[in-house]
Chains A and B, each alone.
Chain A
Amino acid sequence: MAFSTTTANFTSQPFSFNAPSPTSHVKLLITPTSASPFFGSTRKLRLPSSSIFNLHRRSGTVVGVSQVVKEKKPKSTLNLLITKEEGLELYEDMVLGRAFEDMCAQMYYRGKMFGFVHLYNGQEAVSTGFIKLLKQQDSVVSTYRDHVHALSKGVPARAVMSELFGKTTGCCRGQGGSMHMFSREHNLLGGFAFIGEGIPVATGAAFTSKYKREVLKEADCDHVTLAFFGDGTCNNGQFFECLNMAALWKLPIVFVVENNLWAIGMSHLRATSDPQIYKKGPAFGMPGIHVDGMDVLKVRDVAKEAIARARRGDGPTLVECETYRFRGHSLADPDELRDPAEKARYAARDPIAALKKYIIENNLTSEAELKAIDKKIDEVLEDAVEFADESPLPPRSQLLENVFADPKGFGIGPDGRYRCEDPKFTQGTAHV
């Protein structure tokens, strides 16, 4: 089924991300003085000039959503993108994410949590911008960088911190850890350690939503699923396979690419033949949007439209958010490859500072109220750490629970009884 897509369907203003304009054939020549901050600090990267590198200068044709929207609307001093309540909600969520991750780093270096811990500092606008628009029944699927997605979706900070400490009160009883955050109540479907692995799961959740509406006849079921993943994942087969299936069946899903330009130490440009990920959407029959992921209001605007599109039943959208992680890939990453100038450039675009500035300049609320939120979050975190510290470690008896939903799956032992009936089983000492 031919699906001609340009982003023209998407909003009233075609952004022409995909239509090459005849005047802007640009050679992909990356220099440190490149005016385009999108391409990062690969100063040694020089690619031959060739017409196949038909890439646009970002500043030329890629336009921030909010800018266009502003241009379209009549000038008005009351033309604000958010209300005060919304502003405070967004601010609080981002501050929670940032403070939580900072606290994680502290706790890690104090020996309270172990293993691979991947922090989200700098990318808060994407999580907050998207997830705060969802209902509780909507689903979110994430990667190993999932603490903040969990928090935005509503999982209590206590539960996430406990999980990181490996305590039995964690959201996954201490069995998942940093990379496997799940919450049935809040419809957080993980937390996956291998990249790309969660995208089919998200596609399945979207499939269920469609199935419920069309087969089970739950006419009001309009649950949407968001799949978050990074730039490195966009070279993985599962990404493309799911773009195809989601567009084919018009599943209610939004694919959110958190393009922070780096997959551990691999620059996105060194790994990808065509680095503009949003262009891959139309190839599969869905709109592809690029948005400034350091600006929560822009992200929110795009997210609104993408989520509404999915809810309406018009199918999936691919949203590429240009963002940046202020810390290394994980707490074990020395982060030596990235250019300090690049880091400084993005630090200047800190999403929390930007939102704060917007709120203050537009007189949505006072500085004092924002400071009060900061303090509140500090208290929430203190409480979370204290709760996690005081929570018990999982007892041995927890070892064999949850391996199977139906523990008869451990089989029948030599004595004829099901192994799960063996008392050693509940003590966790049984040999299975």
Chain B
Amino acid sequence: MAAIFQGVGAAAPLSSSPSNSFDSNKSVFSPRRSFSVSKRVSFAVVRSDGKVNLNPKGRRDQRLIPNAVATNAGSAAASKQGHELLLFEALQEGLEEEMERDPRVCVMGEDVGHYGGSYKVTKGLAKRFGDLRVLDTPIAENSFTGMGIGAAMTGLRPVIEGMNMGFLLLAFNQISNNCGMLHYTSGGQFTIPVVVRGPGGVGRQLGAEHSQRLESYFQSIPGIQMVACSTPYNAKGLMKAAIRSENPVILFEHVLLYNLKERIPDEDYICNLEEAEMVRPGEHVTILTYSRMRYHVMQAAKTLVNKGYDPEVIDIRSLKPFDLYTIGNSVKKTHRVLIVEECMRTGGIGASLTAAITENFNDYLDAPIMCLSSQDVPTPYAGTLEEVTVVQPAQIVTAVEQLCQ
């Protein structure tokens, strides 16, 4: 599905591994140019055919966001240039590498095999690995998700695809009861190392049922982890980490982000499942976001910088559990929090995050937390209406201005 989409050319992320202590001040004032993958954050249009249009007027004249490869800091990243690809290709690469690495990794879902996946994430895999390893299932989400869980209990490591995340509502029984709880009710005897993944979120006039945000429904299930990818770099990294994890992980992809282009390292790397990603360090306000809203935030950030604000943008990435360390450090620095998400207002990730921050960091807040979410409305088909159900950059700018009064 090709969509011309506007957003910030993927900002190279700074992801800290737990062993390094993250010090945002240090990163702001001492860019590490030695990493070859670092690049400027600029306003760019990424076309679906892969061409990137850099807008020279929009280039921000400021510090580089230094890059750290998620694994060893002293890795060979400096010597290699990396390679460019689109987000769906990054997911495919991650999946393919893990399938090569471990023969127990398999894929199951609708049209993942011969069709190559509805968003081409599994393209070519069936030819390479065979029809059993990349299994085209009948349209029976609850049952094939359960089948994946049974296979995981008996030794395999399935990656279960929901053609659209919304379809996984039909698999809720299996995801909640078995995925989440079975390790516990069996007293730890059986592990469920599955990855449940698929595209979700609001697309371009896909209609209400294809525009759902299931992260809000799944977040209460004990025993599962949820992550959301937003750039080719973290897409590949999270896919690999999720497959290697012994826990059941739900990986949320977004329908509109599949054609994002970025240069990623050649060598093997993963992104830690429990960590958030610092997108843009700042001083005045902490903006927490994930998935597609990251790009709306970065677009708003450009406007805000021109107006003299200095927002700190964090892509929380890990929707369950929250990385309270990265978030907390940021709150302690800026004292103001704005959450921007695509979930509905009621019971969404933002609502949980607001509660978690209030509980843990109330003393550090100078103002109440603001949370911008989608309207509690089934996503309308009409383009004009759809646009106002999700948060737009202009709203983010207004919110920051309000928060920083």
Contact = CB atoms under 8 A, between A and B. Distances in A.
A195 to B, nearest CB: 11
B230 interface: no
Q: Which of B145, B188, B225, B246 gathers most chain A CB within 10 Å?
A: B188
Interface stretch (A9-17, A38-46, A331-339, A410-418): A410-418
Contacts of B143: 199-200, 203, 237-238, 241-242, 245
Contact of B146 (A172, A177, A182, A204): A204
B189 A208 contact: no
Nearest to B188: A402
Contact of B151 (A174, A205, A214, A414): A205
Given A197-B177, A244-B140, A413 B185 contact: no
Given A238-B146, A242-B143, 20 more contacts: A173-B188, A175-B186, A182-B186, A182-B187, A184-B186, A194-B177, A199-B146, A200-B145, A201-B150, A208-B151, A215-B130, A215-B132, A245-B144, A402-B183, A403-B222, A404-B223, A405-B191, A406-B245, A412-B275, A412-B325
Interface string B139-161: 01011111111111111100000
Given A403-B223, A414-B325, A418-B274, A211 B132 contact: yes
B53 interface: no
A391 to B, nearest CB: 14
B360 interface: yes
A139 interface: yes
A205 B324 contact: no
Interface of B: 18, 21, 103-104, 106, 130, 132-133, 137-138, 140, 142-156, 173-174, 177-178, 182-193, 222-223, 225, 245-247, 273-275, 318, 320-326, 328, 360-361
A402 B192 CA distance: 12
B147 A245 contact: yes
Nearest to A212: B155
A200 B144 contact: yes
A208 B179 CA distance: 17
Contacts of A211: 106, 132-133, 151, 156
A417 to B, nearest CB: 8
A364 B63 CA distance: 90
A337 B152 CA distance: 41
A215 B142 contact: no
B125 to A, nearest CB: 13
A244 B138 CA distance: 9
Nearest to B153: A189
Nearest to A168: B187
A191 interface: yes
Contacts of B182: 190
4 smallest CB-CB distances across A and B, nearest first, come from A204-B150, A200-B146, A411-B321, A173-B187
Given A242-B143, A414-B360, A204 B151 contact: yes
Contact of A405 (B132, B151, B246, B325): B246
Contacts of A203: 143, 146-147, 150
Interface of A: 139, 141, 170-177, 180, 182-184, 189-194, 197, 199-212, 214-216, 237-238, 241-242, 244-245, 248, 401-406, 408-416, 418-419, 432
Contact of B186 (A190, A238, A245, A401): A190
A77 to B, nearest CB: 46
A418 B146 contact: no
26 contacts: A172-B186, A175-B187, A176-B185, A176-B187, A191-B186, A197-B146, A197-B173, A200-B143, A200-B144, A203-B147, A204-B153, A204-B154, A208-B151, A208-B154, A208-B155, A211-B132, A211-B133, A241-B140, A404-B183, A405-B192, A409-B223, A409-B245, A409-B274, A409-B321, A411-B274, A411-B321
A377 B46 CA distance: 73
Contact of A201 (B178, B183, B188, B360): B178
B148 A411 contact: no
B169 to A, nearest CB: 14
Contact of B147 (A171, A177, A204): A204
Nearest to A214: B132
B188 to A, nearest CB: 4
A411 B318 contact: yes
Contacts of B189: 172, 182-184
A210 B321 CA distance: 36
A306 to B, nearest CB: 19
Contacts of B361: 414
A411 to B, nearest CB: 3
Contacts of A174: 187
A182 B189 CA distance: 8
Contacts of B177: 192-194, 197
Most chain A CB within 10 A, of B146, B183, B360, is at B146
Nearest to A242: B143
